[in-house]
Amino acid sequence: MGDFKLTTVEEFEAATARLLETGAKVGADSWQLRVKNQTPHCKFGEQGVCCRICSMGPCRITPKAPRGICGCDAHGIVGRNYLKFTAGGAATHSDHGREICHTLHAAAPDGAYKVKDPAKLIRIAQEWGVETEGKDIYDLAHEMAELALMEYGKPFGYQRWMSRLPEHTQKLWMDAEIAPRAIDREVASSLHMTHMGCSSKPEALVRQSIRAGLGDGWGGSMCGTEFSDVLFGTPTPIETEANLGVMNAENVNIVVHGHDPSLSEMICEYADDPEMIAYAKSLGAKGITVSGVCCTSNEVTMRRGIPMAGNFLQQENVVLTGACEAIVVDVQCIFPALGPLSKCFHTKFITTSPIAQQPDSDYIPFSVGTAAEKAKEIVKMAIDNFQNRKPELVHIPDMKQKATVGYSLEAIVKVLDGVTNSQVDVLGTTKPLLECVTSGVLRGAVAMVGCNNPKVRPDSAHIDLMKKLIANDIIIVTTGCSAQAAAKAGLMDKRAKDLCGAGLKRVCELADIPPVLHMGSCVDISRMMVLVATLAKDSGLKISQLPVVGCAPEWMSEKAVSIGNYVVGTGIDTFLGVDPYVSGSSEMAYWLTEGVRDWVEAGYTVETDIDKLCDAMIDRIEEKRAALGI
Ligand code: MSK
């Protein structure tokens, strides 16, 4: 392995502790302090048995008060809360997807946004039955954007992307009445069902939760991923680095954070502009470094190799380095703490979306029409701020790892097919991957996703699980903050193959891949869904028969619950390390872990002991193999 060594969680924590010392000097607050103030958490909230959907309450369920004022019991209250949680997540992902469709609609050959992957646009158009012959690519882009936007509100029919699924799954969804209709309808129906005096039956609430999740994963998120690829390019393997050490003390540091790549792509363009670099040099910097946090980071690392400064619970750390000239945010997962924190330093906290407006920020509204001009303004503002740095506060932890990222579905298929077929075309086939699985060279795959969360020692569950799984010849595909945990640790360095079992190590060597494959941002879990659907179609198996499971060991957001519902809904057993506030209802626990299996042939397992969670996943994969006789 030469000098390769994983970075440990203890080393992450030591680096954070050093940054918090700087924070203490300037009176900065931190999530570590706020967790202490909020602990212990409200037990009613944790169990999901607090109801405040009407003004007769709030009602809380106890042994002495088993029903709310309207008569709803714990099962109905927990179920409604769960569905509302899902609707929040489905709305959020899907609205992100909608914005991307609008960006595509505004794409123009001489505009800020162009079609970078016309071949993918044509493939999707043909999939949707749209005539492409002789059509100008921008006319086609606008037509496809309109059709995609119709998926959000069409009065009849189901999501177009469903046609990518095996017929068996489509039939399951129709039979169970969970096939997703218009994306906005699934969100609105969910909120209608949870209104006072509507549904209080756990079975119905879980059924709609799965349906709303499917509207996200096989609707809004898929629009987000697929049309982002059309606009910004479909990711291919690319080298980058991860962790706070990617920031450069001699450069102007701009950190992009959030989810929507429309802004960050433009920031990257202008940070690369020779005029801007010359301007930064004229003010004493050696250059400009753009790095990222959360899924905006995943978007730009996948396509441009922009380094990842960190994940969700590291967002305050980038400011605490004292070397961040601007943290530029779009939507989702942005701590309101960044406003007051940035005031303790010279950092500009720049909000850009009407969807995510926060106190103590410089609000520079960003829109498709003004993208270039606003991105330039933001980059210039960051450069101007370089002079305001306080050198005595600057400390960037010397900690980073190499990572190979950019494993879109197309890239995974191509690299694996390329091992056996040197003539592979742009899409290739999943046959070599299936052969690796059926022969037992690979035991299976885990889709590791989601956030980090102070309830779990941050990043430790992601990293420990991945290490154990790859040692057992189970390949990992990952997105979101889980992917960044892996990259920070070094698990996306190709040299991490030496931590694998003999089978996975061989695959990594032959295909020249790391054992943990970065598939992108949270919306890109849709890439994983298309991958399993393709594997099922190519093998003739049902999705639920594949030795594949999903896992979100440290999840925290509403989006993660929506994701969990569509992963389960697609037929993939899903393992959670944090309870989704359902422990207050045995009936909800039943429907999520067992009842749902009758509809979609998969269900949830919740286990907060991470070792047990890992064993349960390995057991599940081996059970599936045994059932197939492989
Ligand atoms: S950013 S939803 S903390 S994965 Fe997608 Fe990370 Fe979770 Fe946000």
Whichever domain contains 200, its CATH number is 1.20.1270.30
Q: Tell me, in angstroms, the distance from the centre of ligand 1 to residue 119's CA.
A: 30
Does residue 39 fall inside a structural domain? no
Q: Tell me, in angstroms, the distance from the centre of ligand 1 to residue 520's CA.
A: 11
CA 11 to chain centroid, in Å, comes to 25
> Helix 221-232 vs helix 137-150: angle between axes, to the nearest 10 degrees?
170
Q: Examine the pLDDT at 10 and tell me if it is beyond 90.
A: yes
Strands (DSSP E) contained in 449-571 are: 474-479, 516-520, 548-552
Reference 301, options 426, 94, 481, 462; nearest CA is: 481
Using pLDDT thresholds of 50, 70 and 90, give the confidence band for residue 314: very high
The reply to whether 85 and 173 lie within a common domain is yes
Does residue 40 fall inside a structural domain? no
Does residue 11 fall inside a structural domain? no
The reply to whether 310 and 458 lie within a common domain is no
The reply to whether 199 and 259 lie within a common domain is no
Best of 294, 448, 521 for a ligand 1 pocket test (most atoms within 8 Å of beta carbon): 294
Helices first, then strands: H and E counts in the chain: 26, 16
Reference 325, options 293, 348, 351; nearest CA is: 348
Could you tell me if the CB of 450 is within 6 A of ligand 1?
yes
Average pLDDT for the chain: 97
CA separation, residue 437 to residues 446, 447, 471, 509, 624 (Å): 13, 15, 15, 16, 12
Q: Which residue range(s) make up the domain with 574?
A: 404-628
Which pLDDT score is estimated for 1?
53
Nearest residue by C-alpha to atom 1 in ligand 1:
294
Which pLDDT score is estimated for 454?
97
Which pLDDT score is estimated for 416?
85
Which pLDDT score is estimated for 423?
55
Does residue 435 fall inside a structural domain? yes
Q: Tell me, in angstroms, the distance from the centre of ligand 1 to residue 524's CA.
A: 12
The reply to whether 426 and 562 lie within a common domain is yes
Domain end position, chosen among 393, 423, 441? 393
**Range 571-578 average pLDDT:** 98
- Percent of the chain beyond pLDDT 90? 96
Does residue 417 fall inside a structural domain? yes
- Is residue 448 helix, strand or coil? strand
Reference 330, options 247, 231, 261; nearest CA is: 261
- Chain length of the chain: 630
Q: Tell me, in angstroms, the distance from the centre of ligand 1 to residue 392's CA.
A: 32
Using pLDDT thresholds of 50, 70 and 90, give the confidence band for residue 344: very high
Nearest residue by C-alpha to atom 7 in ligand 1:
451
Rounded Cα gap, residues 338 and 351, in angstroms: 10
Which pLDDT score is estimated for 591?
98
Reference 82, options 615, 568, 611; nearest CA is: 568
Q: Tell me, in angstroms, the distance from the centre of ligand 1 to residue 439's CA.
A: 35
The reply to whether 594 and 562 lie within a common domain is yes
Q: Examine the pLDDT at 538 and tell me if it is beyond 60.
A: yes
CA angle 615, 617, 620 (to 5 degrees): 110
The reply to whether 204 and 278 lie within a common domain is no
Q: Examine the pLDDT at 339 and tell me if it is beyond 60.
A: yes
The reply to whether 224 and 248 lie within a common domain is no
Nearest residue by C-alpha to atom 3 in ligand 1:
451
The backbone torsions φ and ψ at residue 102, rounded to the nearest 5 degrees and listed phi first, read: -65, -40
Best of 333, 456, 525, 563 for a ligand 1 pocket test (most atoms within 8 Å of beta carbon): 333
Does residue 415 fall inside a structural domain? yes
Amino acid at 259: H
Q: For 51-55, 137-141, 309-313, 420-424, which range has the lowest pLDDT when averaged over its residues?
A: 420-424
Domain end position, chosen among 393, 421, 443? 393
H, E, C per residue of 182-213: CHHHHHHHHHHHCCCCCCCCHHHHHHHHHHHH
Domain end position, chosen among 393, 422, 442? 393
Beta bridge mates, 294: 258
Which atom, in ligand 1's list, is nearest to the CA of 521? 5
Rounded Cα gap, residues 497 and 482, in angstroms: 19
Which atom, in ligand 1's list, is nearest to the CA of 452? 3
Q: Tell me, in angstroms, the distance from the centre of ligand 1 to residue 417's CA.
A: 31
Q: Are strands 238-242 and 59-60 parallel, antiparallel or unpaired?
A: unpaired
Could you tell me if the CB of 307 is within 6 A of ligand 1?
no
Does residue 7 fall inside a structural domain? no
410's enclosing H/E stretch is helix 409-420
Q: Tell me, in angstroms, the distance from the centre of ligand 1 to residue 595's CA.
A: 28
- Count structural domains, the chain: 3
Reference 359, options 349, 345, 367; nearest CA is: 349
Rounded Cα gap, residues 270 and 324, in angstroms: 17
Strands (DSSP E) contained in 341-417 are: 348-351, 362-363, 401-405
Could you tell me if the CB of 480 is within 6 A of ligand 1?
yes
Q: Tell me, in angstroms, the distance from the centre of ligand 1 to residue 35's CA.
A: 18
Which pLDDT score is estimated for 3?
83
**Range 456-471 average pLDDT:** 98
For the stretch 208-263, pLDDT in tens is: 999 999 999 999 999 999 999 999 999 999 999 999 999 999 999 999 999 999 99
Residue found by looking up tokens 């000239």 in the block = 325
Best of 312, 329, 523, 524 for a ligand 1 pocket test (most atoms within 8 Å of beta carbon): 312
Which pLDDT score is estimated for 401?
98
Does residue 25 fall inside a structural domain? no
The reply to whether 257 and 110 lie within a common domain is no
End-to-end Cα distance, the chain:
32
- Is residue 551 helix, strand or coil? strand
The reply to whether 214 and 253 lie within a common domain is no
DSSP code of residue 73: B
The CB-based long-range contact list for 416-425 (8 Å cut-off, 24+ gap) reads 416/507, 416/511, 418/511, 419/510, 419/511
The reply to whether 372 and 266 lie within a common domain is yes
Strands (DSSP E) contained in 487-541 are: 516-520
CATH code assigned at 347: 3.40.50.2030
Could you tell me if the CB of 580 is within 6 A of ligand 1?
no
For the stretch 414-438, pLDDT in tens is: 998 876 665 545 567 899 999 999 9
* 298 and 480 Cβ atoms separated by less than 8 Å: yes
**Could you please report the per-residue DSSP string of 171-185?**
HHHHHHT-----HHH
The reply to whether 415 and 466 lie within a common domain is yes
The reply to whether 264 and 381 lie within a common domain is yes
